[in-house]
Amino acid sequence: MTVGVRLHADLRKARTPVLRYFRFQGDPPPLEAYVVVRTSRGLEVGKVRTPPRKEKEAGEVVRLATKEDLDLASRLRAKAEEAAFYLRARLQEEGVRAKVLGCDFTLDGRHLSVHYAAEERVNLKRFTRELSERFGARVEFLAEGPREEAAYLGTLGACGMESCCSTWLQGFAQVSIKLARDQGLPLNPEKISGPCGRLLCCLAYEHPVYQELLAELPR
């Protein structure tokens, strides 16, 4: 059995609402508890958001997080923000057209992930050694697409609410212009696109209802 964990939730700047599922031994960790989990990167801190269920495993729950774990995670958050600030300055100096969305460390401080977005293909690996020496960690650059960027930063939707991708959405479904056409919506890109510049994810939510209604209407 596993529990769904939102990584870095203790830092108030959780990357996205996407949950990852971790197996546990013995009694399940309680809902809303902070836990230390082992991922492919190393040890990370997160918050339990689901009761036990069977899901594909991303790793294991190592322990309930202690005050020392949370204090360390907070210090690493500050260090990660310093890394992001430093890299943004270096990219500007070098004229590299890329946006640093954020950075995060594993709990041992040995692995630094850099999340970035760029409209054109860029090579940030030349900054790997510089960052590694400055922050004492192995550096990994992770390119994010427009939808992921919106989820990562948090945006407002056309409805006036926080965008689904930054609050609860667990993945991105395929969205085509056909969904807007079936729902009788104007095919104006500005009307049916989200802050990410892509077609609204919510076009897929009501489409099955429209399909049922259209099937019963005379042609």
Q: What is the pLDDT of residues 171-181, one digit of tens each?
A: 888 888 888 88
CA distances 185 to 19, 52, 159, 203, Å, are 32, 41, 15, 10
Q: What pLDDT is recorded for position 165? A: 86
Pairing of strands 138-143, 111-117: parallel
Strand order, beta sheet including 138-143: 99-105, 111-117, 138-143
> Rounded to an integer, what distance in angstroms lies between the CA atom of residue 24 and that of residue 60?
6
Structure tokens at 90: 């270096």
Q: What pLDDT, in 10s, does the model give residues 15-74? A: 678 899 999 999 999 999 999 999 999 999 999 999 999 999 999 999 999 999 999 999
> Rounded to an integer, what distance in angstroms lies between the CA atom of residue 199 and that of residue 106?
34
Burial state string for 44-78 with b = 16 or more CB within 10 A and e = fewer than 16:
bbbbbeeebeebeebbebbeebeeebeebbeebbe
Q: What pLDDT is recorded for position 12? A: 46
Nearest partner of 167 among 55, 16, 64, judged by Cα: 16
How many Cα atoms are found within 13 Å in the side-chain-facing hemisphere of 120?
Answer: 3
Band the pLDDT of 150: cuts 50, 70, 90. Answer: confident
Q: What pLDDT is recorded for position 131? A: 97
Q: Which amino acid is at 88?
A: R
Q: Which domains does the chain have, with CATH numbers?
A: 2-65 (no CATH), 70-144 (3.30.300.20), 156-216 (no CATH)
Whole-prediction pTM: 0.82
Phi, psi (degrees; rounded to nearest 5) at 19: -95, 145
Residue carrying the six token digits 């004229």:
95
Mean pLDDT, rounded, of the chain = 89
Q: Which of 17-26, 85-94, 126-135 has the lowest mean pLDDT?
A: 17-26
Q: Which of 2-11, 144-153, 161-170 has the lowest mean pLDDT?
A: 2-11
175, 200 contact by CB (below 8 A): yes
**Span 67-96, average pLDDT:** 95
The answer on pLDDT for 5 being more than 90 is: yes
> Rounded to an integer, what distance in angstroms lies between the CA atom of residue 15 and that of residue 34?
16
